[in-house]
A and B are shown apart, each in its own frame.
Chain A
């Protein structure tokens, strides 16, 4: 006859690992359970007097995605920090090498779950180079139009997250209203609200329809006004500005040395934008400025990064307006065979996304799958700045500085 008893309550012994876990104070430490593998690890995981480790993430209310940052703190001051990646790793590059060219678009989509069209754009452009396809003009206009809409939505969300990480509750909900209008609009032509899977090799999946145009017109009629309101929301808030100014400073040289791209680079005073530096699509025909901030000796801080994104929204609105006025008629897809077999070769394509330079390097061996595909993600590069700029700052600013760099974990862990 068997009797059922509570294993912990009845037969608790010294050997039971569950019991021991409760009694081991070390089990709750952030120190990894293996001996240090590198010099840096050995140095980081040894504590001096008065210091302690604290985990920010992977389950923390304010990490953006599942990022874990081990902070070494002395009181409230961050002595050092160590980002631990890999909680969202899917092996996307390997997956892409085992999918055919059409399939890859849906594989890379979730890497950039905030503005996923840009993550589709880079591989699609690389494959078009491999295949020597000319994309119809209307398709290019639609790509730019939807891309810039998504840039507005992404920067709106950035504004909200920034405020939320500084403890302001309201702006994130206002941000989501703006984002919701834009994703609803895009859902009318793509069928999805988040992972659009819309760009195709040689064009886009669907033409602009009535619902999209009516929603867009509705939104455009008050977009400029909404932009002004967003600028007024936090720019004059004393608490907000004081917490952002001078925090997380990245000077021009550091930014260039770390190969930072996108708004984070332009906020450090470097006027580099892929849309102007290596023009693609129809961007050479459009009129827009490259906003630059942080050119002064005290520039490149979190506030500059925040303000620069607001400037970019204004430029995006200008581009959307021009796209709508110059939109040509015509086909939206190039004529292509079902099964794509590009000639052997290699291609690199890069686009300017809300987070920086998204690049794809694809090598074709003549089959219907790429031989090798490398994805360059700007969030991964930009996140490295946290380790440089956070030392000596306060713990409360860790999340704020991280948010000001605007990382998306999908692309970082790939």
Chain B
């Protein structure tokens, strides 16, 4: 905590405005929301229910903005810690348990630093370029489905929107590099432009085969088609496409081994060389938000999105059909009202009973423990079990809870792969990078498209005839 308070004492003007706003958001906003819901709730519901589309849009944008910051924080911490262990180091371990609040304090530090712009820099462009970079990164969250029905806007041109918005990031990077009045920045910006424009083409072409198979460009629609078991994931029908997409997306996100835009052994920090304070923070966040987006896209398009690898109920039906077994699907009825008087008993008696039951072993085996201490321990243990049970029930009963959990497990598995690559690979050279995009990835993507189209025509003909 001392580090947090120390950081707070150095906060500059921008920070003094932004931090109270953040607190306002965290503390006051929920209270106001509840009060509003109670007072004007019923009236509001009647008005809003006729404008659901707009509400959904606003909520989605707010949620996306609020989600991107913690996602970036987690990935930054993960990168520091995972690479540290790969390098046989300890990594951040000072702030919070295991250094978990490290990136939060780093964020505060960024807020508290001087907002410096170099002499001869183009001030206007220099100021707004990081915003553009950050905005394009965050905007892509809008169409990513986190669970069944949990998508900001289910655009029917979702994939096109993604590539269009993602392609705009290069403008921000180029402007940032150009406006800094620094040769390293300029080279970084130009490298970014060359790299992202080149890799945009194999990236887009690699999913055309998938679009042919899925018949839709809506990410929600693509995700829905991969349900059931993991054999339905598109990675098994589009392995080449998945590989090309993964490589090109790594280059699009400027990650190792394609991190030429910020190659520290060549051009110091690339386009970010002259940036400091929160403008640097925006560039930094954008980079990590991009990592999450690329991972999420990989999961959504090729690795079954929110679907679990094996749907238990579907597997049971399959076994019943094939082997003549008589397995009953697991159905959890999450309707507490159905319990009647049992609900009352559940709320009143179960906590007390379980607390005592959990406390007993502590009390009996540890002679120095007083009764109240044992009860406290028992209560803590009960809470852990209860929360776990509640999550398990929700996981089984509500498909969107399970969907979110599966989605994040898979996404962070891919984030881990990106971090792993960063800890392992050297950097490629710019001519190798370009040669690889144009000589290998582009023909491979075209071949993939050709094979997929041929296969679809052949299969359709076979089915018809």
Contacts and interface: CB of A to CB of B under 8 A. Distances in A.
Interface string B417-429: 0000011111111
Interface in A227-243: 234, 237, 239-240, 242-243
A240 B89 CA distance: 24
B264 interface: yes
Contact of A394 (B83, B181, B183, B431): B431
A25 B121 CA distance: 11
A397 B264 contact: no
A22 B88 CA distance: 45
Interface string B228-248: 000000000000000000000
B87 interface: yes
B265 A170 contact: no
A62 B264 contact: yes
A62 to B, nearest CB: 4
B120 A396 contact: no
B425 A168 contact: yes
Nearest to B120: A25
Contact of A168 (B187, B264, B424): B424
Contact of B426 (A163, A174, A397): A163
Contacts of A398: 266
Interface in B244-260: 256-257, 259-260
Interface residues of B, number: 32
The winner among B256, B268, B426 for most chain A CB atoms within 10 A is: B426
Contacts of A177: 88
Contact of B423 (A54, A169, A243, A395): A169
Nearest to B184: A54
B265 A62 contact: yes
A347 interface: no
B120 A167 contact: no
B183 A240 contact: no
B453 interface: no
A399 interface: yes
Contact of B257 (A54, A165, A239, A394): A239
Contact of A170 (B119, B266, B424, B430): B424
Contact of B265 (A165, A173, A234, A240): A165
B263 interface: yes
B450 to A, nearest CB: 27
Contacts of B59: none
A167 B431 contact: no
A60 interface: yes
A243 B429 contact: yes
Interface string B262-279: 011111100000000000
Given A61-B264, A395-B266, A396-B430, 10 more contacts: A52-B183, A62-B266, A76-B431, A165-B265, A167-B256, A170-B83, A174-B87, A394-B431, A396-B427, A398-B266
9 contacts: A28-B181, A54-B187, A167-B263, A167-B425, A174-B87, A237-B425, A239-B426, A239-B427, A239-B428
Interface of A: 22-23, 25, 28, 52, 54, 60-62, 76, 163-170, 173-174, 177, 234, 237, 239-240, 242-243, 394-399
